[in-house]
Amino acid sequence: MRLEGKVALVTGAARGIGRGIAHRFAEEGASVGIMDLDAVACQTVVDEITEAEGNALEVHADISDPTQVNAAVAKLQEHFGTITVLMNNAAVMPAGALHETPLEDFDRCLAVNLRGTYLVCSAVIPGMLSVQNGSIIHMASVTGLLGLPGIAVYSMTKGALIALGRVMSTDYAKQGIRTNTVSPGTIDSPMLHDFLAAQSRPEELRQEFNDMHPIGRVGTIQEVANVCLFLASDEASFVSGSNYEVDGGLSSKGEQPQD
């Protein structure tokens, strides 16, 4: 029960990695706010967690909308108390090189991945300051560290989140709030399935993703959730301003010899 007594908010928790993190946090004793766009999808995750004897509450919101975010954070805190674990996980991923990305997609990506993070943090941090305690985790990506082709704007936002994690760790260090960033490699998730389904040769591409990671496969949702759990817990009490690469060695491998 590594999160016993803690109240956690997970954004983008209706599916994929966010859903896995919400389950993991609840298994370890946290009361978890399930935030995502769709109330019904959020409630489904709440029901799953409740069935497993955990505590969760549906707090749907579009994280790019300040009114919705503030109302959802207030609802969660009224129900469970002050949020001391914040998992900023929700994101969107437009594909394409920079000049191929429509302005509308660029604006939406920044609105969710960056403005959304700003809004949720701004709503949650006053509570953390009032109790001088908190762990904030931003979900970045190895795309924020490496020049992987074809996802320019998404990568730009993930690099920004890594920078934000560092600066927040120093801004709030004396007030008991730790901030860290997690950068997964490719993870076997609905986001990956959607991406592969839109490609002409999905099986071949899936194998390429496996081969790209030195460990020889893509990661699992559970492997990402376990690292987030550690960072959320008091076991990570001296860990702040770090970026955890959960990528099977991908970001550490240099140039590979070509056949």
Ligand X SMILES: NC(=O)c1ccc[n+]([C@@H]2O[C@H](COP(=O)([O-])OP(=O)(O)OC[C@H]3O[C@@H](n4cnc5c(N)ncnc54)[C@H](O)[C@@H]3O)[C@@H](O)[C@H]2O)c1
Q: Which residues are catalytic?
A: 154
Among 27, 58, 62, 245, binds ligand X (CB under 6 A): 62
- How many amino acids of this chain bind ligand X (CB under 6 A)? 28
Indicate whether 248 belongs to the interface with ligand X (CB under 6 A): no
Which tokens in the block code for residue 120?
């949720």
Among 26, 30, 63, 212, binds ligand X (CB under 6 A): 63
16-27 helix and 39-51 helix, angle to the nearest 10 degrees: 30
Indicate whether 116 belongs to the interface with ligand X (CB under 6 A): yes
Nearer to ligand X, 5 or 216 (CB): 216
User: What does the alpha-carbon distance between residue 188 and residue 220 come to, in Å, rounded to a whole number?
Assistant: 5
Minimal distance, residue 182 CB to ligand X, in Å: 8
Burial of residue 55 (CB within 10 Å: 0-12, 13-18, 19+) is middle
Indicate whether 101 belongs to the interface with ligand X (CB under 6 A): no
Position of minimal CB gap to ligand X: 16
Cβ-proximal residues to 253 (8 Å cutoff; 6+ apart), any chain:
214
Cβ-proximal residues to 216 (8 Å cutoff; 6+ apart), any chain:
210, 248
Which residues of the shown chain bind ligand X in the complex (CB under 6 A)? 11-12, 14-18, 36-37, 62-64, 89-93, 112, 116, 139, 141, 184, 186-187, 189-192
